[in-house]
Chain A
Amino acid sequence: MRTMTPPSPDGAASPADGGGKRSVLAEWQLALPLALAFASIFLAPLLMLVGVSFFNDEKITQPGFGQWAKFLGDPFSYKVIADTMLLGLKTVCATIVIGYPLALIYLDASPRLQKVLIFIIVMPLLLSVVVRTFAWIVVLGREGVVNTLLLQLGIISEPLRLLQTELGLVISLTQIEMPLMLLPLISVMSRLDPNLRDASSALGASRWRTLFKVIVPLSMPGLVAGCLLVFASSTTAFISQTVIGGVRLIYLPLLIWQQSLVVFNWPFAAVVSLTLLVSVLTVVSALSYLGRRSGGYVHG
């Protein structure tokens, strides 16, 4: 087997006097401490989670497929899975619809304005998710900004119920997850050759046509990366889901929390969290497959 030495000229081409020292410590060995940490506190727990899910009782003594059968045999489970995935997809769509135009504006902005915009975009990322969730309670609540405004304008006579609805949750998650969509998008878009857009417009294409025929296809890698991050993050956003969605809207994270920390049925909680893992990874790989295919279309 080939040893894991870097292909850089270090090993073979370095002068004889330095070469002796290098063989004592190969560079890849620097990764060993972290690899050890990941094996013992990341991989081992995940393997144990899989193991625990194959026990029938809450005391984890009788092995069997009972918990899987219980979860997968219940139609309610499928509804929760579907609701969770749909919540993620709706959030992804909402962040694209308003996030993509913002990225376009960023692209056309002066360097000075770009600095301000990127500051505004990154700032929420450094702000605790709990704070961002709390902000939406203040905005969407019965006495919140939206209701006060609509009541004063006379558009509604009764306060709208926005908290504890899926609409309110999707609106909140759109803001909470927005930076995850915008950062990869902007990163890819700012590397686009501006000549391409100028050429498209010089050849008579309208700005819409340039957008859909030139900019969107070329920014696909950033768009896909953004979709993946937003989807993965919004489907597991436990705090936002429970605080804004309330207990009536049930998603997989709430189920995991109830089963593990309220009911203490660990095998069942393990089954639900593995289901969450598998469904998120399935959608994520489907998205990245679609992204690769569209990327192939552009370059091929």
Chain B
Amino acid sequence: MGRRRSLADLSYGLVIGSLAALALLIIVAPVVIVLTTSFTEGRSLKFPPTGFSLQWYEALFDASKSRQIHRAVYNSLEVAAWSTGFGILFGSMASLGLARNRHRLARVADGLFMSPLVLPGLTFGLAALMYFTLIGLRPSLNLIIAGHMIVTVPFIIRTTSASISQLDPALNDSSQSLGASWFYTMRRVTLPLIAPGIFAGAFLAFMASIDNVPVSLFLSTARTDMLPIRMWGMMESTLDPRIAAVSGVLITAAFLLMLIMEWTVGLTRRMRD
């Protein structure tokens, strides 16, 4: 019996351990491989890369050769900044209004605000394109900002509501019973306490906007090109090796941002809870 048990435990460790190792390999290896390949000397993206050079990064940062990519980057950053800004404003207001409200309508509203997370993005993207076109609006960055705000605001609402639910209601009450007005309590007590939650959500929303495909696919045009759509174009036709350099830059940026967010607001802790 004891022997059989240790055998079973051995097989458990072996199977679970190797599957988990496979998972880690599958998660990490492609990222490392792309990073390595981006420094290739050759003209094709084979692995292991031939030699070492920064030629694709030079091509990428060259203002005249990669003008389209640069414009797509600026557009993406502008859209992400504005949509996150509006998301912080409207999203944290909505969270403050609804997080502790148990009324049925409040729950419905909350469900509505979170629904872009499960709704197929392409369905909303197409719907937004038809709607804006049929009511006579011309394609512009503003429309993309509006669309991105809708699909990224759930991230802000989720982390902000989580922070609010951890607030001690007694803090609010004592502030008000000491004569502080509602706005004063909000500014000096509530907002400072939930700020890390808002920032964590804003960070996720910003990244989701930069990464968004379904909305940008339908709402962007040649003039309002967005980075993921441009990158898709670079992969679809002939594989443009500059995309490895773009990926290298994005991987480094994501890594640094993640470290910063971890130190400042404890991002991973917030995502686990």
Q: Which residues of A are interface residues toward B (Cβ below 8 A)?
A: 2, 4-10, 13-15, 17-18, 21-22, 25, 27-35, 37-38, 41-46, 48-49, 52, 60, 97-102, 104-105, 115, 118-124, 126-139, 141, 143-145, 148, 171, 174-175, 178, 183, 186-187, 190, 204, 206-208, 211, 228-229, 232, 235-236, 238-239, 242-243, 253, 256-257, 260-261, 266, 269-270, 273-274, 276-277, 280-281, 284
Which residue in chain B gives the minimum CB-CB distance to A118?
A: B268
In the complex, the answer to whether B116 meets A42 with C-beta atoms within 8 Å is: yes
A33 B20 Cβ-Cβ under 8 A: no
Inter-chain contact A41/B243, CB cutoff 8 Å: no
CB atoms of A48 and B131 under 8 A apart: yes
B126 → chain A, closest Cβ, in Å? 5
Query: What 10 A-B pairs come out closest when comparing CB atoms?
Result: A30-B97, A135-B30, A45-B131, A143-B46, A45-B127, A101-B19, A31-B97, A49-B127, A98-B23, A206-B8
Chain B nearest CB from A212 CB (Å) reads 11
A99 and B23 form a contact (CB under 8 A): yes
A-side contacts of B37, CB under 8 Å: 138
Main SS at interface, chain B = helix
Asked if B222 is an interface residue, CB under 8 A from chain A, the answer is no
Min CB gap A49→B, angstroms: 4
Give 15 CB contacts A-B under 8 Å.
A25-B182, A31-B97, A34-B90, A34-B93, A41-B146, A126-B258, A128-B210, A128-B247, A129-B228, A134-B231, A134-B235, A141-B46, A178-B26, A261-B217, A274-B123
Contact of A6 among B45, B93, B100, B181 (CB under 8 A): B100
The interface bits of chain B over 115-136 (1 if a CB of A lies within 8 angstroms of the residue's CB, else 0) are: 0101111111011111110100
Contact A105 B16 (CB under 8 A): yes
For residue B189, CB closer than 8 A to chain A, the reply is no
The answer on a CB contact under 8 Å between A105 and B150 is: no
Chain B hits for A139, CB < 8 A: 29-30, 33, 47
User: Which residues of chain A come closer than 8 Å to B147, judged between CB atoms?
Assistant: 41
Nearest-neighbour CB distance to chain A for B116, whole angstroms, equals 7
> In the complex the two chains form, what is the Cα distance from A266 to B129 in whole Å?
10
**B 91-119 contacts with A by CB, 8 A:** 91, 93-94, 96-98, 100-103, 105-106, 109, 112-113, 116, 118-119
Bound state CA distance, A82 and B254, in angstroms? 36
Q: Please determine whether A137 and B120 come into contact, CB atoms closer than 8 angstroms.
A: no
Q: Decide: B26 and A175 in contact? CB cutoff 8 A.
A: yes
Query: Known: A48-B127, A126-B258, A238-B214. Contact between A243 and B235, CB under 8 A?
Result: yes
- By beta carbon, the residue of chain B nearest A259 is B126
User: Would you call B63 an interface residue if the criterion is a C-beta within 8 Å of the partner chain's C-beta atoms?
Assistant: no
